[in-house]
Amino acid sequence: MDARRVKQILSSPADIEVKYNGTPVWIDKLNEDGRTATVHLRGPLEERTMVEIGELTEG
C-alpha cells in the first residue's frame, strides 16, 4: 500500500478492510515520515503498533 491510499482510507466514511500480515487492522494515522502508519487490531484490544505501510494490504 502507498501513502496516498492510506490517506484515502483514513478519510473514507466506508469500512475498508485492511490487513497487516493477514490480520485485520484499523489504521489510526499515517505517520509524519510517510512510510509508516500506526494501526491497531480490529476487536477489543486497543494495542497500537507502528508498521511499514508497504506491508499493509486491502481486503
pLDDT in tens, 6-51: 999 999 999 999 999 999 999 999 999 999 999 999 877 778 999 9
Using alpha carbons, list the distances in angstroms from residue 46 to 2, 8, 17, 18, 40. 24, 22, 17, 16, 6
- Domain span holding position 49: 3-58
Give dist(CA 9, CA 15) in Å, integer: 8
Per-residue pLDDT, 47? 86
Place of cell 490480520: 23
pTM for this model (two decimals): 0.88
Per-residue pLDDT, 59? 87
